[in-house]
């Protein structure tokens, strides 16, 4: 019995390989059958015609158009808007205009945008005739917001030739071929809305200021890209300062101590802006700052002082001296300097007994005499500006030359030897009264006449006495 069991086990084990082989064969036949069916399907399919290819291509384009067509390269490009600062009250509306690109108004539209404080959409109730408002887009203030910002998207119409050309020039990295439109983001737009009855709290802001010297005076300058008239000078008062580098006065004028040999240096100064200054008021009322409180006190603000070599310009008159009869006159004028016409005003001279001068340079001889004069002259702003252009890196010092004067009596052929005293180095002082020349001559002539008469009298007296003595001698004989 045991022997028969062993034989049965051996037969079963021998059949196992045949069972495994049969299973693999069945699987192989199933695979072949599937492959045959697939092949038959391919065999039954018609060859693709040109029409079929076009249909497939159209379907592919349609599916692609459903996706965002904006290339990765366009995401780094930014379009500017005409105003990047939206302000108003809750419920207000306003326009959003895209800035021109290379002088061209882009054709297209802004994508609608909405968040909790603003809504941006097409204005369907208005047909715009303004070229720049082709997008016809408005914003609506939904609620008060302080220092908010938004960034919009603009869909440019590439079927418009001018739009396509302008974008190609502005953004050389964009591939605009075979596209009907492209979406490009705008710059960030600041948003500040207030409640209807409650103004938003003012934010304190510092102005971007630069302090530099013009000659021997510090000047405060404001420069801001959003302010159209930038840069402008602002009036300010300075806290007086005395250090080893500078002695600063309240009006900004300064002196440099002899111990300071630096040609360029920086000093921290404290200033207070003049709020009544017209330039300050323009800034305070401009869009970037009209809802803010501008800080007027600036402590330890750096000031850059650059000392340049002084340039002395000596103004010369068109005449070398003034020669005239009494009541004669003329007009003082200066020669041009480096092609710059010199204009300005003179300090009037009225009280001088020899000479008079008005602000325009008209002079008149009042009394005979001779000497020199150096009237005070203030050069005009226009002439000074032109001279500064000739010497931009130098401090100008304007000096005038003196004039010789020779005034004579009417009808006389030579000048008087009486001296004319007039101001020197611009400080005009009244001329001292000197003896009159005519009176001196007459007095001298009188003295000579008396002396001559005395001599003649003595001679006559001595001669008469001699004659008397001779007559007496003859009578005695």
Phi first, then psi: give them for residue 150, nearest 5 degrees. -135, 160
Report CA 458 to chain centroid distance, whole Å. 94
- Please compute the mean of the pLDDT values over residues 160-172 and round it to a whole number: 89
R_g of the chain, CA atoms, integer Å: 52
Q: What average pLDDT does this structure show over 327-342? A: 91
Whether 166 contacts 138, CB under 8 Å: no
pLDDT category at 209 given cuts 50, 70, 90 is very high
In this structure, of 215-229, 258-272, 368-382, the range with the lowest mean pLDDT score is 215-229
Q: Is the pLDDT of residue 440 over 80?
A: no
Could you tell me the two tokens for 381? 């702003």
pLDDT in tens, 296-318: 999 999 999 987 767 888 899 99
When pLDDT is cut at 50, 70 and 90, the band that residue 434 belongs to is very low
Report whether pLDDT(131) > 90: no
Q: Is the pLDDT of residue 260 over 50?
A: yes
**Is a pLDDT exceeding 70 seen at residue 26?**
no
Q: How much is the pLDDT for 452?
A: 67
pLDDT in tens, 269-296: 999 999 999 999 988 888 778 878 899 9
**Is 335 within 8 Å of 316 (Cβ atoms)?**
yes
Q: How many CB atoms lie within 10 A of CB 370?
A: 19
Q: Which residues 6+ apart lie within 8 Å of 295 measured at CB?
A: 204, 205, 206, 207
pTM: predicted TM-score of the whole model, two decimal places: 0.33
**Are the C-beta atoms of residues 179 and 69 closer than 8 Å to each other?**
yes
Burial class (CB in 10 A: 0-12, 13-18, 19+), 369: buried
Among the ranges given (279-293, 380-394, 418-432), the one the predictor scored with the smallest mean pLDDT: 418-432
What value does the mean pLDDT of the chain take?
Answer: 75
Alpha-carbon 357 to chain mean position:
41
Mean pLDDT throughout 445-465?
A: 70
- A 10 A CB-CB count for 210 gives 14
Q: Average of pLDDT values for 349-364?
A: 90
pLDDT of residue 363: 92
Where does residue 110 rank: exposed (0-12), middle (13-18), buried (19+ CB within 10 A)?
A: buried
CATH architecture of 312-436: Sandwich (2.60)
In the chain, what percentage of residues exceed pLDDT 90?
27
What per-residue string of b and e applies to 34-61 under the rule 16 or more CB within 10 Å gives b? eeeeeeeeeeeeeeeeeeeeeeeeeeee
CATH code assigned to 72-194:
2.60.40
Which of the residue ranges 9-18, 44-53, 258-267, 274-283 would you say has the lowest mean pLDDT?
44-53
What residue spans in the chain does CATH classification 2.60.40 cover?
72-194, 312-436
Which tens digits make up the pLDDT trace of 75-105? 578 988 888 899 988 889 888 888 888 888 8
Q: What is the pLDDT of residue 62?
A: 38
Between residues 113 and 125, the one the model is more confident about = 113
Specify the length of the chain in residues: 477
Tell me which of 412 and 167 has the higher pLDDT: 167
Identify the weakest region by mean pLDDT among 11-15, 89-93, 148-152, 254-258: 11-15
Pairing of strands 355-357, 395-400: unpaired
Q: Hey, what are 340's tokens?
A: 């710059």
**Residue whose structure tokens are 């750096």:** 302
Calculated CA dihedral for residues 425, 427, 429, 431, nearest 10 degrees: 20
The CA distance from 373 to 377, in Å, is 12
What tokens appear for 426 in the block? Answer: 């611009």
- pLDDT of residue 391 exceeding 70: yes
Instruction: Answer whether residue 11 shows pLDDT above 70.
Output: no
Q: Which residue has the higher pLDDT, 249 or 200?
A: 249
pLDDT at 48: 45
């Amino acid at each position: 019995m045991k022997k028969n069991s062993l034989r049965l086990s051996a037969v079963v084990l021998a059949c196992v390989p045949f069972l495994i082989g049969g299973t693999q064969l069945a699987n192989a036949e199933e695979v072949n059958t599937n492959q045959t069916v697939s092949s038959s399907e391919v065999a039954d399919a018609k060859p693709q015609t040109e029409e079929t290819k076009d249909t497939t291509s159209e379907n592919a384009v349609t599916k692609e158009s459903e996706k965002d067509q904006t290339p990765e390269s366009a995401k780094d490009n930014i379009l500017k808007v005409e105003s990047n600062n939206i302000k108003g009250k809750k419920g207000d509306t306003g326009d959003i205009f895209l800035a021109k690109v290379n002088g061209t108004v882009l054709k297209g539209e802004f994508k609608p945008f909405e968040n909790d404080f603003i809504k941006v959409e097409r204005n369907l109730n208005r047909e715009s005739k303004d070229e720049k408002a082709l997008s016809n887009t408005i914003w609506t203030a939904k609620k008060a917001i302080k220092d908010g910002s938004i960034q919009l998207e603009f869909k440019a119409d590439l079927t418009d030739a001018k739009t396509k050309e302008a974008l190609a020039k502005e953004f050389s990295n964009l591939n605009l071929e075979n596209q009907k439109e492209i979406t490009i983001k705008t710059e960030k737009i600041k948003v500040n809305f207030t409640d209807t009855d409650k103004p938003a709290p003012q934010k304190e802001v510092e102005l971007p200021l630069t302090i530099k010297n013009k000659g021997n005076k510090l000047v405060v300058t404001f420069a801001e890209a959003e302010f159209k008239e930038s840069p402008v000078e602002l009036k300010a008062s300075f806290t007086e300062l005395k250090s080893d580098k500078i002695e600063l006065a309240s009006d900004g004028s300064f002196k440099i101590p002899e111990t300071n040999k630096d040609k360029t240096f920086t000093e921290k100064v404290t200033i207070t802006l003049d709020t009544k200054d017209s330039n300050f008021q323009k800034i305070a009322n401009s869009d970037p700052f009209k809802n803010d409180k501008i800080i007027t006190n600036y402590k330890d603000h750096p000031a850059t002082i650059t000392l340049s070599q002084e340039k002395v310009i000596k103004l010369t008159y068109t005449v070398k001296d003034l020669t005239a009869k009494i009541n004669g006159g003329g007009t003082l004028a200066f020669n041009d300097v480096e092609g710059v016409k010199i204009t300005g005003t003179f300090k009037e001279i009225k009280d001088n007994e020899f000479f008079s001068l008005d602000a325009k340079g008209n002079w008149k001889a009042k009394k005979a005499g001779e000497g020199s004069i150096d009237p005070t002259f203030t050069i005009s702003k226009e002439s000074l500006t032109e001279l500064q252009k000739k010497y931009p890196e130098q401090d100008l010092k304007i000096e005038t030359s003196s004039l010789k004067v020779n005034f004579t009596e009417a009808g006389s052929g030579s000048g008087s030897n009486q001296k004319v005293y007039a101001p020197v180095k611009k400080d005009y002082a009244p001329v001292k009264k000197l003896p009159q020349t005519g009176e001196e001559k007459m007095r001298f002539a009188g003295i000579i006449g008396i002396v001559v008469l005395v001599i003649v009298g003595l001679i006559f007296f001595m001669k008469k006495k001699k004659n008397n003595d001779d007559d007496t001698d003859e009578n005695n004989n």
